[in-house]
Amino acid sequence: MSDRVSIKGKGEDIFFGDNPDRQGPAEDNQADALARANRDTVAPRRQDTGEPKSERSSQRAGEPRRTNTTAPAGDETLEFFEGLVLPGGLKRRLGKVLDEDHRFHTSVRLSREDTDALRDLMYELDAKIGVRVPRSEVFRVALRLLIEDYAVRKKESLLVQILLGEEGHY
């Protein structure tokens, strides 16, 4: 059973505040809807509920609690990403990915956190930056960037650093 909740017809209120001409949801439901729409907002929990269903269902017996992959970046992470500058040639090669014909279909399994982060990214690209692009194109550009990095740096590439990280995944 899905733990999704419909907020149909409430988008204007969620993103732009209350509209006095419209009848809004009840106080508790509005706080919950705002929390789902904005990860930085914490909705007050009702007394009759314990842990949110999504946390209960994703936690299996004996497994450690998963951390949020879209948590705010620390100073070190922010410094790394702010220091990234794509050279013109690489930027052009990555841009050509969007022009290439892609005839093969593949599937990728994503965690709920990855799916939520991708949905948020797609919304921000479209609503805030004005770039409307399919999810598959975002995947293709990201994949090509990792492939280019590996082709140049091999064992020092981002992909190898992540795969062989502290926990030694592979």
CA distance linking residue 17 with residue 153, whole number of Å: 48
CA 30 to the chain's CA centroid: 23
Work out the burial of residue 33: count CB atoms within 10 Å of its CB; fewer than 13 is exposed, 13-18 middle, 19 or more buried: buried
Mean pLDDT (the chain) is: 75
Predicted local distance difference test score (pLDDT) of residue 24: 45
pLDDT of 43:
47
> Who wins on pLDDT, 63 or 103?
103
Which letter does DSSP use for residue 135 in this model? H
More confident residue, 142 or 60: 142
Helices (H), the chain: 11-16, 27-37, 53-58, 75-82, 88-96, 112-124, 135-153, 158-163
Domain ranges of the chain: 11-58, 75-163
Which are the contacts of 80, defined by CB distance < 8 A and separation ≥ 6? none
Between 98 and 42, the more confident residue is 98
Residue range 133-144: mean pLDDT, rounded: 94
Asked whether residue 126 carries a pLDDT value surpassing 90, the answer given is: yes
Contact yes or no for 112/68 (Cβ under 8 A): no
Instruction: Summarize pLDDT for 88-119 with one digit per residue, the tens.
Output: 999 999 999 888 887 888 999 999 999 999 99
Segment 15-28 mean pLDDT: 52
Helix residue spans in 9-107 (DSSP H)? 11-16, 27-37, 53-58, 75-82, 88-96
pLDDT of residue 138: 94
Lowest model confidence (mean pLDDT) among 4-8, 82-86, 145-149, 166-170:
4-8
* % of the chain exceeding 90 in pLDDT: 41
